[in-house]
A and B are shown apart, each in its own frame.
Chain A
Amino acid sequence: MADYRALYQEVILDHNKKPRNYGTLEHASHHAVGHNPLCGDHITVALNLNLDPECVECIDGIAFQGESCAICKASASMMTVAVKGRTRTDVETLIQEFLAMATGKLDLDTPNHIGRLAVFAGVRDLPTRVKCAILPWHTLHAAFNSVASASTEAAEDPMHAPIGNA
């Protein structure tokens, strides 16, 4: 059985207490609100995509804010750190890998870009908490596609991953 406390590691508790890139972003080029109707949690992700030919579609700036549990807030905070300065294509790959990890479909021993985000691997054993961890990533994806609102429930959500009974 999972050691639940393993999920509440120092790094997650730290990002929950002192979230990085927390707040709003002036003149954001992309923006989306993610909502988890199951618990009423919501977060906003705003970002600026660089159109400079040297780094086309690099994330120049990113910010998030909202009401959420520690898992969701830490996931959002670490996400902003992980994606800042990276290209949209790289980030889309990372989103896929994170979702796969959270739903237990990613073998962390195979090459991947997860890095420090591996602290969230434990949510795969907590079906009811998977949504908390993936909400920021759904929202980031929605922001890229200028989808007005992401939801971990909506069937039409393009990122609606099959996540068992979560």
Chain B
Amino acid sequence: MSAVRAAFNPRSASAFDVERIRADFPILQLKIDGKPLVYLDNAASSQMPQTVIDRLVRYQTSEHANINRAVHYLSETATSEYEAARRKLQHFIHAREEREVILTSGTTDAINLVMHGYGRKFIKSGDEIILTTLEHHSNIVPWQMLAEEKGAKIRVVPINDAGELLIDDYEKLFNERTRFVGVMHVSNALGTVNPVKKMIAFAHERGVPVLVDGAQAAPHLQVDVKDLDCDFYAFSGHKLCGPTGIGVLFGKAALLEKMQPFKGGGDMIMSVTFEKTTYNTIPHKFEAGTPPIAAAIGLGAAVDYLSAIGMDAIAEYEHALLSYATEQMTRMPGVRILGTATNKAAVLSFTVDGVHPHDVGTLLNQEGVAVRTGHHCAQPVMQRFKVPATSRASFAFYNSMAEVDALVGGIRSVQKVFA
């Protein structure tokens, strides 16, 4: 790894042809108020390459029908393309079986599926669920709803000043009542890459299943659910160069089979009478109603695109981007970076002294620079760092070093306005 990394010249990035990649994304040609768009809000949603756009057009132009229903040509085509997308996603995360890949509407939907399908069936009064301070609201609120319904208790893993989970404290939270662990792979607010493999192994030694929220990990690093040995892994398509409205829940087949359905309806059944309904096998048991077929097929094309570049190459290049940006911003007086974990993905959360993040965001937008400002749906993280909000630049593999410079220049002009 380090040898490859050393070969990177952050200014030329010759090992990774970012200009060629940028040409794949039509939206990157946009000008905002006459300035080239500098899109640094990838943790919120990423952009779509032409090949995925074309795939969506081809589907709607010549392949669309409802799936799993009729015997006609279009229905068979749509069904086989939808299932092909599932297999692509299976290989993308290295799942053992394709039936372990449930297509959901996104990460939130996937986590709610686990809460309803697993939590409501197996978690009882007095049981404990371990979450972390870093969690996105989508991996907090469903569990709070469950805890309230069942009389269960939520325990929270604290973090240090760098934004890293305190693993000793995590281990101490376990007791005979611990029934479930929910942890994010990569923090959306700070970029911290959590040691989930180690945390999963510890939980498994105590017979406790683990859900990993991979929304911010899947776009930035090679995900291997077999290697992690996680019980559930959730992520979203739109952060992965795919369409909105599609996401994935990976679940171990044995667990998925024991779970109760989340939503009832068509497709998730074998047979229905008013006396008794028999549920379909997995993954269909969890895919009630007509799914987002086009979005699923589009996401299949997106992971093809990413795999062709290579997730390792992407991680490598983004690391160079992050290092360069961190180096530049650390040198800026009055700028504070939140989240300084040793192991980080390409997210840079920061505050500018004396300037509210919303003012930073509005003024950066004037320079064409798109960042996220706010609490990033991670209010406990903001509370931990005693800030109401931050500005967040989140990078993708199609961002260039010149765009980092545009961000830095933009922050300087913000400081000038507020000087």
Q: How far is it, in angstroms, between the C-alpha of A4 and the C-alpha of B389 when the chains are bound?
A: 21
Chain B residue contacts of A90, Cβ below 8 A = none
Q: Are B375 and A69 in contact (CB under 8 A)?
A: no
- Which 5 A-B residue pairings sit nearest by Cβ, starting from the closest? A69-B356, A40-B388, A4-B366, A69-B358, A70-B359
Interface centre among A3, A5, A40, by most B CB within 10 Å?
A40
Contact present for A67 and B388 (CB under 8 Å): yes
For residue A57, CB closer than 8 A to chain B, the reply is no
Given the complex of chains A and B, what is the CA–CA distance between A38 and B389 in angstroms? 10
Residues in A whose Cβ lies below 8 Å from that of B362: 4, 7, 126, 129
- Give the B interface residue count (CB, 8 A): 19
State whether A8 touches B417 (Cβ < 8 A).
Answer: yes
Q: Which of B372-419 contact A (CB under 8 A)?
A: 373-375, 379, 382, 388-389, 417-418
Q: A residues within 8 A CB of B375?
A: 39-40
Instruction: Tell me which residues across on chain A come within 8 A of B358, comparing CB atoms.
Output: 39, 69, 71, 128-129, 132
> Is A159 close to B, CB under 8 A?
no
In the complex, the answer to whether A4 meets B388 with C-beta atoms within 8 Å is: no
Please name 11 further chain A to chain B contacts, defined as beta carbons within 8 Å, in addition to the given A38-B374, A69-B359, sorted by A numbering.
A1-B33, A3-B366, A4-B363, A7-B362, A13-B418, A39-B374, A69-B356, A69-B357, A70-B355, A71-B359, A132-B358
Closest residue of chain B to A70 (Cβ to Cβ) is B359
Residues of chain A contacted by B374 (CB below 8 angstroms)? 38-40
List chain B residues, Cβ under 8 A from A40: 374-375, 379, 382, 388-389
26 A-B contacts, Cβ less than 8 Å apart? A1-B33, A4-B33, A4-B362, A4-B363, A4-B365, A5-B363, A5-B417, A7-B362, A8-B359, A8-B363, A38-B374, A39-B357, A39-B375, A39-B388, A39-B389, A40-B374, A40-B389, A41-B356, A67-B388, A68-B356, A69-B356, A69-B357, A69-B358, A70-B356, A71-B359, A129-B362
- Complex Cα–Cα for A14 and B411 (A): 20
Taken together as a complex, chains A and B put the C-alpha atoms of A155 and B358 apart, in Å, by 23
- In the assembled complex, the Cα of A129 lies from the Cα of B373 at a distance in Å of 12
Residues of A within 8 A of B389 (CB): 39-40
Q: Which residue of A lies closest to B361 (CB)?
A: A128
Q: B373: nearest residue on chain A (CB-CB)? A: A39
- Show the binding face of A for B, using Cβ within 8 Å: 1, 3-5, 7-8, 13, 38-41, 67-71, 126, 128-129, 132
| In the complex, chain B residues whose CB is within 8 Å of the CB of A3 | 366
* Chain A residue at minimal CB-CB distance from B355: A70
CA distance A71 to B356 in the complex (A): 9
Contacts of A8 in B (CB 8 A): 359, 363, 417
- Chain B residue, CB-CB nearest to A123: B362
Report how far A136 CA is from B365 CA in the complex, Å.
25
CA distance A69 to B373 in the complex (A): 11
Nearest B residue to A40 by beta-carbon distance? B388
In the complex, what residues of B have CB within 8 A of residue A71's CB?
358-359
Given the complex, which residues of A lie within 8 Å of B355, measured CB to CB? 70
Chain A residues contacting B379 (CB-CB under 8 Å) are 40
Q: Which of B362, B374, B379 has the most CB of A within 10 A?
A: B362
> In the bound complex, how far is the Cα of B363 from the Cα of A8, in angstroms?
9
A67 to B418 Cα, complex, angstroms: 17
**Most chain B C-beta atoms within 10 Å of own C-beta, residue among A3, A38, A70, A129:** A70
The 8 Å CB contact of A5, one of B357, B366, B373, B388, is B366
> Nearest CB to that of A42 among chain B residues?
B388
B418: contacting residue among A1, A39, A70, CB under 8 A: A70
B86 → chain A, closest Cβ, in Å?
34
For residue A129, which residues in chain B have a CB less than 8 angstroms away from its CB? 358, 362
Can you name the residue of chain A whose Cβ is closest to the Cβ of B356? A69
Smallest CB gap from B34: residue in A: A1
Q: Which of A1, A4, A68 has the most CB of B within 10 A?
A: A4
- The interface residues of chain A lying within 8 Å CB-to-CB of B357 are 39, 69
Alpha-carbon distance A70/B355, docked complex (angstroms): 7
**Nearest Cβ in chain A — how far from B137, in angstroms?**
12
